[in-house]
Structure 1
């Protein structure tokens, strides 16, 4: 990339910044999804996390799978892209969820002890209780994308058609 002029650099500093997150939708043989329990907040999450500066979301999902689960899972199809606008201090962000396939029988999950306390498979009837209303919508939408072989786009939890 060519060097930016001071004027261009100042212009880019004025543009909004967004958080990017990427995750994997990993399933068992019955269609439940693998969830992890973080030690830094309530509830459960899909394996994944923040996309680092300069990192593509797909690469972040794979990296997070290695870091959080000890599994090197090549992300499959993009199932969901979701924009969420929250009040400060959270702000707005984009989430990318990828097909993580099915966890093979006998696969060994090694949790990232610094951030996670446990993992388990969660069925659709438990999504609200574990992921909260907002997260449950995202996980259900990702599974719809998987079933329909398409990428869904959500804006604050509502599908954009």
Structure 2
């Protein structure tokens, strides 16, 4: 990293900060989506989580898959980049979802008990019940990106074309 002047450091401190998350869209051979239930909040999530400082989103998705599920999944194609705006204290966030592939029948999942209580495969029709409207929109957009072979950029609940 280049040496920064005190003025540059002050300038960079004034720039906005965003939370960044990365996750995996993992499916079974019936096309259902793997959902995990956290113990620290209501609802369900995709496997994934916060990107650590200095970590690339793709690396974070792989790390989270290993930590949360005991599966070393090499993330495939980037499916969505989602920008979400929430009021304080949550604030803005960026979400990267990657193709987590199709799990072979009988694949053993070792759930991370410190954060997760349960996992299951859910149908596309069930997504709003498990993930709420915002999460369901992200996942259905990721599935669209997978079908169309492209990255879809999202802003809140809108696709940017």
TM-score bracket relative to the smaller structure: over 0.9
Distance in 2 of aligned mates of 1:133 and 1:105: 29
Distance in 2 of aligned mates of 1:3 and 1:105: 52
The alpha-carbon deviation at position 106 of structure 1 amounts to: 2.0
Report Cα offsets for 1:50-80 as digits up to 9, x if no partner.
0000100000000000000000000000001
3-state SS of 1:146 partner: helix
Q: 5+ unaligned residues in a row in structure 1: which ranges? A: none
Distance in 1 of aligned mates of 2:5 and 2:123: 53
The alpha-carbon deviation at position 157 of structure 1 amounts to: 1.3
Distance in 1 of aligned mates of 2:32 and 2:62: 20
3-state SS of 1:22 partner: strand
In the superposition, the TM-score normalised over structure 2's length comes to: 0.99
How many residue pairs align between the two structures?
161
In the superposition, the TM-score normalised over structure 1's length comes to: 0.99
Corresponding residue of 2:101:
101
Distance in 2 of aligned mates of 1:144 and 1:31: 13
Corresponding residue of 2:49:
49
Aligned-pair RMSD on alpha carbons? Answer: 0.6
1:1-161 map, 5 Å: 1-161=1-161
